[in-house]
Amino acid sequence: MDKNEENNQKNTISPEVIKDNLFEICKILTYSDDKLAYEFLECLLTPTERREMAQRWILVKELDNGRTQRDIAKEYGMSLCKITRGSRELKKDNSAFRRMLDILDKQSKDK
């Protein structure tokens, strides 16, 4: 085993620890206001990671609005693979994307 492989093994985080920490992030975001949640994401994520996260949410909303995958790819410069993945997730039974879109829709109607 070379030095690189040793370092990779030492730095490996188990899937369970990753899941636990993602749940913890979700919990604290749930209990924070919009401004604090945004500031937290700015600190946690690099500009590239924030852009990619926003792009993925954009594509979900665009798909939900009936835009074609090719139109989305052309307008936002996204790969068809990424858009297809979003489309598949949106079509799943009990999709988290669908449930979040429903929450967003309800919030916008309540305003």
**Comparing C-alpha atoms, which of 88, 87, 81 is closest to residue 59?**
87
Q: What is the mean pLDDT of the chain?
A: 92
Would you say 86 and 60 are in contact if contact means Cβ atoms under 8 Å apart?
yes
CA–CA distance, 58 with 76 (Å, rounded to integer): 9
Give the dihedral of Cα atoms 28, 31, 35, 39; nearest 10 deg. -10
DSSP code of residue 32 = S
Along the 111 residues of the chain, how does pLDDT read in single tens digits? 556 555 556 679 999 999 999 999 999 999 999 999 999 999 999 999 999 999 999 999 999 999 999 999 999 999 999 999 999 999 999 999 999 999 999 998 887
Structure confidence at residue 1 (pLDDT):
54
Structure confidence at residue 18 (pLDDT):
97
> Which position has the token pair 């909303």?
61
Structure confidence at residue 111 (pLDDT):
77
Give the dihedral of Cα atoms 23, 8, 47, 58; nearest 10 deg. -60
